Amino acid sequence: GAGVSQTPSNKVTEKGKYVELRCDPISGHTALYWYRQSLGQGPEFLIYFQGTGAADDSGLPNDRFFAVRPEGSVSTLKIQRTERGDSAVYLCASSRLGQETQYFGPGTRLLVL
Amino acid sequence: GDSVTQMEGPVTLSEEAFLTINCTYTATGYPSLFWYVQYPGEGLQLLLKATKADDKGSNKGFEATYRKETTSFHLEKGSVQVSDSAVYFCALNRIRDDKIIFGKGTRLHILP
């Protein structure tokens, strides 16, 4: 079956603009995670959904970052008033309920100029 | 807090050489341990995992053994190939909230 997909694959924006990043998890996976991977670093946790609700958003760096998953499938990560420091690869992963193995998408590379 | 430390890269080896990428962890309790791989232009893929002490994870010729006494999970392969060139991430699953904590990654270059 299809894996986790993310769109766009690349996004270039200007400082201060608003961006939305989309994640389409594997069908049937109830858990969805967002991570941010800065250059030369490992992925860092941002937020976790179980179904439609954000079960844990403790990794979001500040209130400019927000994510939704209104129907328990596709998720959108939203970044307001982007800053150059937001430039990174944003990764999405999904997993089945009760299983710890997460399956990652290819990521969205965000560049804020 | 929980953390993962892995050897810094890049690591450059010739084809058929023996590979070791060191990984140690700090954690409360006994987390599951993972190695993920990121091939050029692709997403992170789970390479192997081990869920308890002395377990050995293996896949594609790679192996890693969960060593509780040394809090380590070193990745090994007996004979690397050019196609193994990638970035390798050691990670743990934090018990209290199921979050995955990643190391910084080790870039591996295999020369033909």
pLDDT band of A92, cuts 50, 70, 90: very high
pLDDT at B43: 83
pLDDT at B35: 97
pLDDT band of A101, cuts 50, 70, 90: confident
Above 90 in pLDDT, residue B72? yes
User: Given CB atoms, is A30 within the 8 Å cutoff of chain B?
Assistant: no
Q: Which of B43, B101, B104 sits opposite A107 (nearest CB)?
A: B43
CA distance A37 to chain B (A): 10
Q: Which residues of B touch A93 (CB under 8 A)?
A: 44
Above 90 in pLDDT, residue A5? yes
pLDDT at A54: 80
pLDDT band of A86, cuts 50, 70, 90: very high
Percent residues over pLDDT 70 in chain B: 100
* Average pLDDT, integer, range A81-94: 96
- The strand ranges marked E within B1-112 are 3-6, 11-14, 19-21, 23-26, 32-38, 44-50, 56-59, 62-65, 75-77, 86-93, 100-102, 106-111
* Average pLDDT, integer, range B106-110: 96
A43 and B99 within 8 Å at the Cβ level: the answer is no
B100 and A45 within 8 Å at the Cβ level: the answer is yes
Greatest Cα pair distance, chain A, in angstroms, is: 40
pLDDT at B82: 96
**Beta-strand relationship, A108-112 and A10-13:** parallel
B33: phi then psi, degrees, rounded to nearest 5: -120, 145
CA–CA separation, B23 vs A24, rounded Å? 32
The chain-wide mean pLDDT, for chain B, equals 94
B100 and A41 within 8 Å at the Cβ level: the answer is no
Q: What is the pLDDT of residues B31-71, one digit of tens each?
A: 999 999 999 888 899 999 999 999 999 999 999 999 999 99
Q: Which residues of A touch B104 (CB under 8 A)?
A: 40-42
Q: CB A43: neighbour CB atoms within 10 A?
A: 27
More confident residue, A18 or A2: A18
pLDDT at A99: 80
Q: Which of A45, A101, A104 sits opposite B43 (nearest CB)?
A: A104
Q: What is the pLDDT of residues A28-85, one digit of tens each?
A: 999 999 999 998 889 999 999 988 888 889 999 999 999 999 998 999 999 999 999 9
| Residue pair B103/B5 in contact by the 8 Å Cβ criterion | yes
Q: Which residues of A touch B44 (CB under 8 A)?
A: 43, 91, 93, 104
pLDDT at A1: 54
More confident residue, A76 or A101: A76
Above 60 in pLDDT, residue B110? yes
